[in-house]
Structure 1
Amino acid sequence: MTEYTVVPEFPDPETYVNLRDAAGMAPRSLAAAERGLPNTVFGVRVLDGEEIVGMGRLVGDGGTVYQVVDVAVHPDHQGRGLGTRIVDELVAYLNREAPPSAFVNLLADVDGFYEQWGFEYSAPASKAMFLRVTDDGVPRRE
């Protein structure tokens, strides 16, 4: 059985883009990753030897609001508890570092996964919304 290592460092932009793609997540351009990843509040990567096979990170202002994003595991390594280990690390960071009044949110694409850490659906009290920006910089209606 493979021994995985969770490291408190987020992958480089190219690995990030490739791992999102492999995991079937919405694509991000390398230019966007190079611009955005330095703003990571905290992130982890999962290693199988030297190969990065999983990742997850927190973004936000580091005090009032945090968002769990980019939790991904390469398909060849899914089903081995790596997503759970990633979110365990992210939540442990929040428990250590986030002020008691901080708001932590996420947009889940997996039903029944994040509840084990205490995440709750926000509706009907609030509703998640999004805006997708196109290549020409104009918001697109879906």
Structure 2
Amino acid sequence: MNHPYEIIDRLPTVQEHQALWEAVGWGSVNTEMTKESLARSLYGVVAVHQGKTVGMGRIVGDGAMYFYIQDVAVLPEHQGNGIGARIIERVMEFIAERRFPNGVAFAGLFASEGKDKFYEKYGFQDYSPGMTGMFKVLDK
């Protein structure tokens, strides 16, 4: 089957990241900070359609035990075509290939509002109240 979308193992460029970030409504992003953040990623994947990057996903973490899935985004006009699924499948393949041999790997993420059911299809679950995902934003 010939897919109209190609999944490529590479990080998005700063400009691609910014365009996707803003297109999905995550606000604006400091591109100097993004450049540094992307450079420190463990892995990245992009979805390309007719030469244009229309989706992305990446992993940050220690590369052995902890893997955090970050920035999974697909341009709104391309959502519903299985791109997000292909991105998550490739990201999970990377984790399975790279985790410490015979060790346990923890893959985490924060789902955007309304997207939790999508991630549940890939085995992600809410562990509350026993465990609660938390974060703090340092912006000042």
Match of 1:105 in 2: 108
Within the alignment, does 1:51 sit opposite 2:56 as a pair? no
The 1-side partners of 2:3 and 2:124 are apart by 30
Q: Which residue identity lines up with residue 42 of structure 2 in the other structure?
A: V
TM-score computed with the length of structure 2 as normaliser: 0.90
Count, aligned residues: 135
Amino acid at match of 2:62: D
Given the two structures, how large is their TM-score scaled by the length of structure 1?
0.89
RMSD between aligned residues:
1.5
Mapped partners of 1:83, 1:6: distance in 2: 10
Aligned to 1:120: 125
In the alignment, structure 2 segments of 5+ residues that lack a partner are none
Divergent runs of 4+, >6 A:
none
Secondary structure of the 1:126 match is coil
**Change over 3 Å in CA distance of 1:108–1:96 after alignment to 2:** same
Instruction: Tell whether 2:46 aligns with 1:6.
Output: no
Deviates more, 1:96-105 or 1:70-79: 96-105
* Cα contact 1:43–1:57 (8 A) shared by 2: yes
Listed as ranges, the matches of 1:1-142 within 5 Å are 3-99=4-100, 100-109=103-112, 110-134=115-139, 138=140
**Alpha-carbon distance between aligned partners in 1 of 2:19 and 2:33, rounded to the nearest angstrom:** 13
3-state SS of paired residue (2:22): helix
Q: How far apart, CA to CA, are the structure 2 residues paired with 1:21 and 1:88?
A: 24
- Label 1:2 to 1:102 Cα distance change in 2 as closer, same or farther (>3 A): closer
Structure 2 Cα separation of the partners of residues 105 and 2 of structure 1: 28
Contact 1:40 1:59 in 2 (8 A): yes
Bigger shift: residues 61-70 or 22-31? 22-31
In the TM superposition, residue 55 of structure 1 has moved relative to its aligned partner by 0.3
Task: Give the conservation status (yes or no) of the 8 Å contact 1:58–1:69.
Answer: yes
TM-fit CA distance, 1:2: 7.0
Residue 131 (structure 1) shift: 1.3
What letter is aligned with 1:105?
G
Output the CA distance in 2 between the equivalents of 1:93 and 1:57. 10
